[in-house]
Amino acid sequence: MDINYWNKICKNYQSEVLSVFDNDLHGLVKQRVGKIAQEEEIERAADIGCGVGRFTPLLAEQFEEVEACDLSSVGLKNAKRRCSQQDNINFYQVDLVSEAIPFAPVDFAFCVNVLIMPSLDQRLRAWRSVTNQVNRGGTLLLVVPSLESVQMEFYSNVERRLSDGEGCGEAVRNSIDEKARASDLRLGVHQLDGVRTKHYLKDEIAQMLEEHEFEIQEISKLMYSEDEHTHFSQWDWLATATRK
Ligand SMILES: C[S@@+](CC[C@H](N)C(=O)[O-])C[C@H]1O[C@@H](n2cnc3c(N)ncnc32)[C@H](O)[C@@H]1O
């Protein structure tokens, strides 16, 4: 998951990524952003890991000034094009793992499916960068892949195969669709479209936020549509939290 990887993904973002913007079944993210914009006095917001800028125009409509940053130059180029009608957004190229974020902390940080790098060391650095970018009393909205969703999808596949007449051993074997190291499985690193991606337990997100001195407001399921073949509905976790 280096810059080349993300540049390639951002070139064909629509076909490569299950976009939260387009697939958030109940529009939870947009609702939460609207609520935060209405209820809190926030001037500056940040779209951290903005990618191709799917959410950036929404933030620019709701807040006076928006800082948008990403590792990928291709992502940023697309994001700038998408936001060309809005003049209250500053764009920055930054690696959250190894560089300081080049703008002052904000009262609202928005970070959707960015803290997903498989390396624990890199991920912890990125967590520190993101959480330090929120002023005390400010709000963080975080979306991350759900480990419970991966596990439930597996059980659901086994069930489906059992009801199709497969035996238990066969149903389990046929439901395992990835070869993973034991350490990856213990750390919640599963393949997403063939790429090792960190997935989080709900309690793990709560613990991480508390360790970074945030008070949790909510951790909710962000549901996607049912898969037409498996009939399983995946979800991500959406967390909002206030910096103490
Ligand atoms: C799955 S995309 C999500 C993009 C956007 N937040 C959205 O919801 O459409 C993940 C984004 O995180 C960015 N990213 C990954 N690692 C990064 C890093 N170390 N520093 C900055 N951005 C990073 C990628 O370039 C990519 O644009």
Q: Which residues pair with 243 in a beta bridge?
A: 214
- Total domains in the fold of the chain: 1
Report yes or no on 95 lying in a domain.
yes
Measure the N-to-C terminal CA separation of the chain; round to a whole number of Å: 31
Distance 72 CA to ligand 1 centre (A): 8
- Does 112 sit in the ligand 1 pocket, CB within 6 Å? yes
Identity of the amino acid at 46: A
Q: Tens digit of pLDDT for each residue in 98-114?
A: 999 999 999 999 999 99
Of residues 94, 93, 98, the one with CA closest to residue 122? 98
Tokens describing residue 13: 């973002």
Q: Which of 114, 119, 140, 237 to mutate to test the pocket of ligand 1 (most atoms within 8 A of CB)?
A: 114
Q: Is residue 179, in this structure, part of any structural domain at all? A: no
Point out the ligand 1 atom lying closest to the alpha carbon of residue 6.
Answer: 25
- Residue 191 pLDDT > 80, yes or no? yes
- Residue 155 covered by a domain: no
Phi-psi region of 113 (alpha: psi -120 to 50; beta: other; left: phi over 0): left
Q: Which domain holds residue 10?
A: 3-146+193-243
Burial 105-131 (b: 16+ CB within 10 A, else e): bbbbbbbbbbbbbbeeebbebbbebbb
Distances (CA, A) of 136 to 107, 114, 222, 243: 8, 22, 26, 5
Which residues have a Cβ under 8 Å from the Cβ of 13 and sit 6 or more positions away?
19, 51, 52, 54, 75, 78
CB of 113 sitting under 6 A from ligand 1: yes
Asked if residue 177 is part of any domain, the answer here is no
Of 23, 30, 67, 27, the C-alpha closest to 45 is 67
Ligand 1 centroid vs 224 CA: distance in angstroms? 20
**For residue 234, which of 188, 185, 199 has the smallest C-alpha distance?**
199
45-67: average pLDDT: 97
Question: What is the pLDDT confidence band of residue 24, given thresholds at 50, 70 and 90?
Answer: very high
pLDDT for 126-168, tens place per residue? Answer: 999 999 999 999 999 999 999 999 999 999 999 999 999 999 9
pLDDT of 13 reads: 79
Dist. CA 113 → ligand 1 center (Å): 7
Query: Quick check: CB of 188 below 6 Å from ligand 1?
Result: no
Q: What are the beta bridge partners of residue 192?
A: 195
Give distance in angstroms: CA of 108 to centre of ligand 1: 17
Q: What is the mean pLDDT of the chain?
A: 95
Is the CB of 109 within 6 Å of ligand 1? no
For residue 169, report the distance from its CA to the centre of ligand 1, in Å: 39
> Could you give phi then psi for residue 124, rounded to 5 degrees?
-65, -35
- Tokens 């064909």 identify what position? 12
Find the 13 Cα to ligand 1 centroid distance in Å. 11
- Overall average pLDDT of the 225-244 stretch: 94
Query: Is 166 within a domain?
Result: no
Q: Above 90 in pLDDT, residue 180?
A: no
Ligand 1 atom at shortest distance from the alpha carbon of 75: 27
Look at 8-22, 23-37, 93-107 and tell me which has the smallest mean pLDDT. Answer: 8-22
User: Which CATH number is 25's domain given?
Assistant: 3.40.50.150
- Two tokens, residue 69: 């940053």
pLDDT over threshold 80, residue 14: no
**Does any domain span residue 30?**
yes
**Is any ligand 1 atom within 6 A of the Cβ of residue 75?**
yes
As given in the structure block, the two tokens for residue 116 are 């997903």
Residue 178 lies in a domain: no
pLDDT digits (tens, 9 = 90+) for 77-92: 999 999 999 999 999 9
Report percent pLDDT > 70 for the chain: 100
